Amino acid sequence: MADTENISRINLTQGSSDIATPSYSAVGGQISAELRNPSRRRGGFLELSGGTHATNKDFLRFDTGELGHSGVYAFVSGSYTRNNNWRGPGTNRRYHVDAKLTKSWGEGSHTAVVFTWNTVDESPTRYLSLSQWQQYGRSYNYAGQYTPGSTDYYRQFQYDRTSVMISAPTHFILTNSLSADVTPYYQWMSGSVPSATTLSPGKIYYGNESAGTIDFPTVYDGKAAVAAIAGSNSYNAGFTGNLALHTGINTLRAGYWYGNLNKNSLYDYAPISSNGSIMDGTIRTQSGAVLATKNFHLMQQVNGFYIEDTLSLLDHRLDITAGFKEVLMSRSGTNNIPGATYSWSTNTATPLPRMSVSYKITPQDTVFFNASTGFHAPASDVPYYDAFNMSTGKLAPAAAPI
């Protein structure tokens, strides 16, 4: 998400989302945010803020003005945000960069390149019940000091995540009645989420195979203190595009959406030192393999074709829209855990019809009716990949799609 200092507009679309939205499950209203355009004048902006719990945010933005005589304008901004948890120990940090470049030409044609980089280092807080709040108040959280062998030390839950998003929305005026919109996009994300746990030496399985003898740096009462690291990295690339024909009271749009998602996940383990710190490196089995509960690759491709027609009547007070979208989705993956099914694949084709009617009673008051369809593919990887009990090596029961 962009820094709020760079958001110029937030749009709320009532009823159903735009048919051109790169989504197959959105059937309700749509909220979208627009990044500000670069200023026409060269200049800078500095904002500093602070508050309780050691909160502070430093924000700096620079506008280039016109670059030469090219008609190109740009800005770049950076920010640093920090705060301590309001409940219990832990510090959260966020580093962020926004940038945008714009160029206009002809009668209404314009393009932009938008870049966002974000990295966070966060210390989560425990969920609590009403009775726990009444008993402990703001002190209820993970422990601030490490007790050997415990699994509630806050530093063992500190996680990090980095993401990059790039898009290039472009609007073309082709003729007086024909226009085109094209937006290529790319998103990359990587991170790891650790949590404290224990393993029983000599009773550990890697998939359906015994992990053998493993030397742990810290063992308390027969239990080895370790950090379970849920790590993943993914990229999502694609584009959306459509042609719009405007003829008096009628607007006809036809478009296409392509999306390509690739995700790698490795859920492995790291040793914990005597002071509770997560040590570098990963725990390996006796044979030298990385001890993991998940090690998979997921691939998804989406092709969406759509057409929509809008009729405006009564001096554009009454709008009647009908549309149709066909989404072709293919998913496949591999699982490198011993004993698991190695590969799988699925293919679906889903028709998504929609319609809406809106009437402007006054410039400020509108009544509307809409009917839209969508489908929900499993958002979790659990239904697709075999999982094993680390204590027995037996296949865990399959989970229902989420």
Distance between CA atoms of residues 174 and 107, nearest Å? 10
Task: Check pLDDT > 50 for residue 59.
Answer: yes
pLDDT given at position 57: 96
When pLDDT is cut at 50, 70 and 90, the band that residue 378 belongs to is confident
- Residue 309: name the closest of 255, 256, 263 by CA: 255
Q: For residue 366, what are its two tokens?
A: 């509108």
Identify the weakest region by mean pLDDT among 118-122, 263-267, 285-289, 381-385: 381-385
When pLDDT is cut at 50, 70 and 90, the band that residue 398 belongs to is low
C-beta of residue 20 within 8 angstroms of C-beta of residue 366? no
Distance between CA atoms of residues 141 and 87, nearest Å? 7
Q: What is the mean pLDDT of residues 13-32?
A: 77
Distance between CA atoms of residues 229 and 366, nearest Å? 51
Q: What is the mean pLDDT of residues 211-227?
A: 91
pLDDT given at position 146: 92
Q: Which residues contact residue 27 at a Cβ distance below 8 angstroms, ignoring those fewer than 6 apart?
A: 16, 17, 372, 373, 374
pLDDT given at position 328: 96
pLDDT given at position 233: 95
pLDDT given at position 401: 43
pLDDT given at position 260: 96
* Mean of pLDDT over the chain: 91
User: Please, which residues bridge with residue 366 across strands?
Assistant: 360
Identify the weakest region by mean pLDDT among 196-205, 318-327, 361-370, 376-385: 376-385
> Structural domains in the chain?
4-384 (2.40.170.20)
Q: What is the mean pLDDT of residues 31-55?
A: 93
C-beta of residue 383 within 8 angstroms of C-beta of residue 399? yes
Q: With residue 253 as reference, give the H or E element that holds it.
A: strand 250-271
Could you report the per-residue pLDDT of 136-180, keeping only the tens digit for each? Answer: 888 889 999 999 888 999 999 999 999 999 999 999 999 999 999
In percent, the amount of the chain with pLDDT more than 90 equals 75
Q: What is the mean pLDDT of residues 83-100?
A: 95
pTM of the model: 0.89
C-beta of residue 331 within 8 angstroms of C-beta of residue 309? no
Could you report the per-residue pLDDT of 229-288, keeping only the tens digit for each? Answer: 999 999 999 999 999 999 989 999 999 999 999 999 999 999 999 999 999 989 999 999
- Collapse the DSSP code of 124 into the 3-class scheme (helix H, G, I; strand E, B; otherwise coil) and give the result: coil
Burial of 310 (C-beta count, 10 Å sphere; 0-12/13-18/19+): middle
Distance between CA atoms of residues 81 and 97, nearest Å? 12
pLDDT given at position 402: 41
pLDDT given at position 291: 95
- Collapse the DSSP code of 84 into the 3-class scheme (helix H, G, I; strand E, B; otherwise coil) and give the result: strand
